[in-house]
Structure 1
Amino acid sequence: MNEVDRLIFQYCPDGINWKKLGDLEDAGIVKLGRGKVISKYDLANSPGEYPVYSSSAVGSGEFGRYGEFMFDDERISWSIDGGGRFFYRHPHRYSVTNVCGWLKVADQNILSTRFVFHALSNAWSRKSFDYTKKAHPSVIREEYFIPVPHITVQQEIVRILDALKEFNVELSSELTTELKARRKQYNYYRDRLLIPGSGDVEWRTLEEIGEFVRGKRFTKADYVENGIPAIHYGEIYTHYGVYAHETLSKVRSNMADSLRYAEPNDVVIAGVSETVEDVGKAVAWLGDEKVAIHDDSYAFRHKMNPKFIAYAMQTDAFHDEKAKHVSSGKIKRLLIDGIRKVRLPVPYPNDPEKSLKEQARIVAILDTFDTLTTSLSEGLPREIKLRQQQYEYYRDLLLSFPKPDEAA
């Protein structure tokens, strides 16, 4: 028998009652309410240090900072306009807007606020609110039932769940820090390998190294499940890594004659993006067949190692050179006349065979770093998701007391 079972046996010999929030409010054990209208205009006219929470914000729900506050105690808030997700607000000075509801535990001898938060979050995970069924306090009070074990049992459950939650936060922070360190290490060695301080290396413009082929337009309406392999410029910075053997997308086969293609070993470069960082990103096409490319991208045809070029186009030096040739405005565009002038380092430029061997050596090292960094990038969200599922499993287990028929 674990500690929770022991406490239930000791303090709840007759079982555990489930109570509707409305009944708890009527009994004066909890209070329910709604926030007040606080606009961006209000924030601008009364600046301050006190957070304002709203369902229109993401993360913790913080909308802004204000010179006034509504509460300074422990409460639970939730979004009224769809979602209905619950947030625990620890004691501090804060406000909630009119699109939020709030709950205050009035009798801490009967209910723990943290316990109520965990119980409501557990119940919320099984419900659905939308813009037709809003989570008004009047709805919440009728919609939710929570278990009310003895306060000692509540405190033990809270201790366990809070410990799990804290562990998840710490693990996420540690994994994120580790990933950042690995990426920093990878970027350092990549730049040192590709841009050595000495040795037989010559900087050459892309137009000296190879030639460009601009793609032809296709749209999402042209996408099919089986057709011509195609690379859209946006996929270069949202989906692909340094290289690819197969494509995410395919377009209609009857478009074949109207398209332009990247050949195997070409490097496909994004010509348009909303950021300077993403425009000019490249993927080495290592597939066995030619691939259609969008007209806002270029196929760079050359006689070098394609992965070497793609890696070189990730360096700070390439980014700095590229930035000189990016158009201003909301949409960043790297025009062909500009990208031709961007330079890349070429090892042993006067000895093609030796140059390719050196490029292959550098690529092999960078592939190892890239694999490690990619595995961490993919493993991080997966590990965090698993830990969250573990927390939810134990939360469900700890709060799954038998329900009376009317609460089922």
Structure 2
Amino acid sequence: MSSMYFMEKLLDGVGVEWKALGQLATLRRGRVMSKEYLIENAGEHPVYSSQTANNGEIGKITTFDFDGEFIRWTTDGANAGTVFYRNGKFSITNVCGLIKINIENELNYKFLFYWLTIEAQKHVYSGMGNPKLMSHQVEKIPIPIPCPETPEKSLEIQGEIVRILDNFTELTAELTAELTAELTARKKQYNYYRDQFLSFEAGEVEWKMLGEVAEFRRGTAITQKQTTAGDIPVVANGPTPTYLHGESNREGETIVIARSGAYAGYVSFWNQPIFLTDAFSVHPDSKILKSKFVYYFLQNKQEHIHTMKKGAGVPHVRVKEFELYDIPIPSLDEQARIVAILDKFDAITNSITEGLPSEIALRQKQYEYYRDLLFSFPKPEEVGA
């Protein structure tokens, strides 16, 4: 079904009038509230600011500035133009704007909210490196009013669009929650079996210090020549590599431990050419240890390894402490069996981990498609302020 045909069926031949938002609503800004103010006045009513995390809430205070239905938008910064529907008692900070509809039997708040999620970002001004969407810009945003001559019919049409989008939003949230719960369960199951397979009773296997059975090698500083984009992963102090041009300094199976920074002690495994910088690699004696087994053992101790960080400024871990780390040495056949099982669990967990963002992104695209379809009103060439 084409968007025009869908809208024709919904509108059933009625017209659409476009008005600038300033003709339909009153706009105002929030007020400055410091962290100290939020702490000193802690209470039960939410305060919203420019962030998108935690639904935009930065704290709760004893009083409230607004009570009822409103649309809030972010005026400044990276999230400028982000729109929220609010209903209840709350306050907003000075980097937020608020929209109050003047005649509520003319415009549905949720209808306006969904429309502004499409339109608001188009009016953000990004000059001088600080994106802004101020009240004088928001006032000019054109708003479609279906069947303007019959308010009851207009609100009925708006309400139907809201109902469809609310249902779609709810279904998307439910699916995301189910996928997230599945991922959490898989990770919990994986961690349980990893703990079981890597736990050995006293006397069951021989234990040695890692420095006795493995070699540690420091990474090297990257050169200016290698700073151009390429296909060699540059592995340093975190889980996300960059890809630069140059020759690798590690080949094959490599266990990497980040040396410094927020991810100091982070353990990763690579089986491809890499360039190692602010980290060190662990190379077990292949006659008694498999690299992947050592990786899984260290990964299972990741929480403890992070407690080994030193330094108040830039935290770091030292090779010396890892050389003293005790590690079990079952037979190579037993190591191979454990690695094969954990590889399967790891693959299942990773497939869900990687698939979750893709599935959420797909649902978001579907939602945006139907939202845009529902709002595909014929547009006038110009709408006066």
The TM-score with structure 2 as length reference comes to 0.87
State the SS of the aligned residue for 2:103: coil
Match in the other structure for 2:240: 238
Q: Is the 8 A contact 2:71 2:100 kept in 1?
A: yes
Please show how residues 3-82 of structure 1 align to structure 2 within 5 Å: 5-9=8-12, 13-24=13-24, 30-56=25-51, 58-82=53-77
State the SS of the aligned residue for 2:237: helix
**Following TM superposition, by how much is the alpha carbon of 1:265 offset from its aligned partner in structure 2, in angstroms?**
3.2
Choose from 104, 111, 114 the match for 1:108. Answer: 104
**Following TM superposition, by how much is the alpha carbon of 1:147 offset from its aligned partner in structure 2, in angstroms?**
0.8
**Following TM superposition, by how much is the alpha carbon of 1:34 offset from its aligned partner in structure 2, in angstroms?**
1.4
State the SS of the aligned residue for 2:43: coil
Q: Does 1:183 align with 2:187?
A: yes
Q: Does 1:315 align with 2:311?
A: no
The TM-score with structure 1 as length reference comes to 0.82
Q: Is the 8 A contact 1:272 1:297 kept in 2?
A: no
**Following TM superposition, by how much is the alpha carbon of 1:125 offset from its aligned partner in structure 2, in angstroms?**
4.5
State the SS of the aligned residue for 1:378: helix
**Following TM superposition, by how much is the alpha carbon of 1:230 offset from its aligned partner in structure 2, in angstroms?**
5.6
Cα deviation, 1:336-380, whole Å, max 9, x if unaligned, reads 111101122211xxxxxxx22211111111111111111101100
Letter in 1 for 2:236: Y
State the SS of the aligned residue for 2:68: coil
Classify 1:263/1:115 alpha carbon distance in 2 versus 1 (closer, same or farther; 3 Å).
Answer: closer
Match in the other structure for 1:386: 362
* Structure 2 spans left out of the alignment, 5+ residues: 147-153
Distance 1:220 1:167 in 2: 50
Distance 2:125 2:166 in 1: 26
Cα deviation, 1:240-260, whole Å, max 9, x if unaligned, reads xxxxxxxx534545xx9xxxx
State the SS of the aligned residue for 1:329: coil
Q: How many residues align?
A: 368
Match in the other structure for 1:146: 143
Match in the other structure for 2:258: 270
**Following TM superposition, by how much is the alpha carbon of 1:284 offset from its aligned partner in structure 2, in angstroms?**
3.5
Distance 2:224 2:197 in 1: 39
Letter in 2 for 1:145: P
**Following TM superposition, by how much is the alpha carbon of 1:20 offset from its aligned partner in structure 2, in angstroms?**
1.0
Match in the other structure for 1:377: 353
Q: Is the 8 A contact 1:4 1:153 kept in 2?
A: no
Please show how residues 278-293 of structure 1 align to structure 2 within 5 Å: 278-287=263-272, 291-293=274-276
Please show how residues 155-174 of structure 1 align to structure 2 within 5 Å: 155-174=159-178
Match in the other structure for 1:333: 316
Distance 1:296 1:42 in 2: 43
Please show how residues 81-120 of structure 1 align to structure 2 within 5 Å: 81-82=76-77, 83-90=80-87, 92-120=88-116
Distance 1:262 1:14 in 2: 69
Distance 1:221 1:101 in 2: 48
Match in the other structure for 1:137: 135
Letter in 2 for 1:389: K
Across the aligned residues of Structure 1 and Structure 2, the Cα RMSD in angstroms comes to 2.7
**Following TM superposition, by how much is the alpha carbon of 1:314 offset from its aligned partner in structure 2, in angstroms?**
1.0
**Following TM superposition, by how much is the alpha carbon of 1:272 offset from its aligned partner in structure 2, in angstroms?**
2.0
State the SS of the aligned residue for 1:55: coil
* Structure 1 spans left out of the alignment, 5+ residues: 25-29, 240-247, 348-354
State the SS of the aligned residue for 1:74: strand
State the SS of the aligned residue for 1:177: helix
Classify 1:112/1:341 alpha carbon distance in 2 versus 1 (closer, same or farther; 3 Å).
Answer: same
**Following TM superposition, by how much is the alpha carbon of 1:264 offset from its aligned partner in structure 2, in angstroms?**
2.9
Distance 1:226 1:385 in 2: 28
Letter in 1 for 2:280: S
Cα deviation, 1:140-177, whole Å, max 9, x if unaligned, reads 112x1111121100000000001111111111111111
Match in the other structure for 2:151: none
**Following TM superposition, by how much is the alpha carbon of 1:195 offset from its aligned partner in structure 2, in angstroms?**
1.6
Match in the other structure for 1:242: none
